Structure 1
């Protein structure tokens, strides 16, 4: 083995060493996943291999990251139409393409919720621009909470009082800013609507009746009873009120 061959081997070994060091360095420099990253990973796993679900989840992930970066929670309200409407194909009176509006209503505390649910929830509602009553629906919802890292995929399968699809769903998202997408199908007599994903962002407030600084309640029957509160030092008795002065007699009249 001559000197030229040795030089080539040394250069190759050095290049491999530099490449390995760069690989190790890049691996060690990777940032720790945030709660939002973990929530998106779980959402992607839940979507499986269905192309429509994967496409919707990808759009939710992009919307969530954009909302987190731009702090859109400062302007998102408790009742919010989605940022985009759903292009709805396959149904319509005059043209087989119409739209579906999706809204999100954050829950409110107290017994009277109106159309919303309890505090810490979101009621999602789809409203197609189609006349008539739906007879079946296969609407899906993908959502992620930017603040607490919750996420999930659910069906908008709430029924009406008559047993027909209400095209709505109330989800326990917890407080925070929620990015969501709704897509799927709605069946009407003689026609089926196919919805592209509608994207939205809504802010869910915490229940103001719950003190965030209060200690957690315990249900352990063996937990020690809280120490009695000391009544503090006894106050001295109040001084008696001074007696009213005697009336001054009127001067005698002399004639």
Structure 2
């Protein structure tokens, strides 16, 4: 009886030892590498960690990225507006709440003769009359193909020095997701734009046409003969050589 208990105890201990050894010696599965889009979002999150005002815009971009990734969207037209006009508070003549339209233009030979291929220009158009005095509009963007990311203010100005509410970013070619939000100052009004999101395809520069190579089998054309002087008329001196 005693020997049987000892045998069963030893067997149980051996089984537990084998199980523990397998538990500690089996390597844990490695976490999958983040996609370029996920890596770009991580970079933006770290960049805005100390900026509470940027958190809603980055959170909106992250949610939109998850929707796009789940839908496997990979291409849109070269010019696309943001998904919806952003509700805007504090300005407008039709009530307390108005909207701001946002858009992005993919620059390149096929869409903008003056743009640099591989760049993207963002625009904002509030529904408020007057000339803006200052721009606090911010765009957060990620390129889900090359991992580039940015947090940029629409700080370009017109030829008169007033805010144009636009900004060109060097996103590189690929699919770009973006969110836009912020403030626009007008004389006597401050527009507060809530986040909107959009998706854009940025083309690359077209491949240069190959330089034609002359065919070695075709001989070069013979040089043209030098012009000859006409003979002098009778009674006239001959021309000097």
TM-score normalised by structure 1 residue count: 0.70
Q: 1:153-164 to 2 correspondence within 5 Å?
A: 153-164=151-162
Structure 2 unaligned blocks of 5 or more: 1-5, 220-241
SS at match of 1:198: strand
State how far apart, in whole Å, the 2-side matches of 1:90 and 1:234 are.
Answer: 76
CA shift at 1:90, angstroms?
A: 0.7
- Aligned residue number for residue 151 of structure 1: 149
State how far apart, in whole Å, the 2-side matches of 1:17 and 1:90 are.
Answer: 65
State how far apart, in whole Å, the 2-side matches of 1:48 and 1:28 are.
Answer: 30
Q: Deviations over 1:107-141 (max 9, x none)?
A: 01289626xx2110111000001111111111111
Contact 2:36 2:143 in 1 (8 A): no
State how far apart, in whole Å, the 2-side matches of 1:48 and 1:29 are.
Answer: 27
SS at match of 2:74: helix
Contact 1:109 1:209 in 2 (8 A): no
CA shift at 1:21, angstroms?
A: 5.0
TM-score normalised by structure 2 residue count: 0.74
Change (3 A) 1:210 1:57: farther
Runs of 4+ in 1 over 6 A off after TM superposition: 231-235
CA shift at 1:92, angstroms?
A: 1.3
Q: 1:35-114 to 2 correspondence within 5 Å?
A: 35-74=36-75, 76-109=76-109, 113=113
- Aligned residue number for residue 202 of structure 1: 200
Contact 2:82 2:104 in 1 (8 A): yes
State how far apart, in whole Å, the 2-side matches of 1:105 and 1:99 are.
Answer: 20
CA shift at 1:43, angstroms?
A: 1.1
Structure 1 unaligned blocks of 5 or more: 215-228, 236-255
Q: 1:171-190 to 2 correspondence within 5 Å?
A: 171-190=169-188
State how far apart, in whole Å, the 2-side matches of 1:202 and 1:46 are.
Answer: 23
CA shift at 1:158, angstroms?
A: 0.3
SS at match of 2:32: coil
CA shift at 1:45, angstroms?
A: 1.1
Question: Which one of the candidate residues 130, 137, 160 is aligned to 2:128?
Answer: 130
Change (3 A) 1:52 1:21: farther
Structure 1 range deviating more: 28-37 or 191-200: 28-37
State how far apart, in whole Å, the 2-side matches of 1:178 and 1:104 are.
Answer: 10
State how far apart, in whole Å, the 2-side matches of 1:157 and 1:65 are.
Answer: 29
Number of matched residues? 207
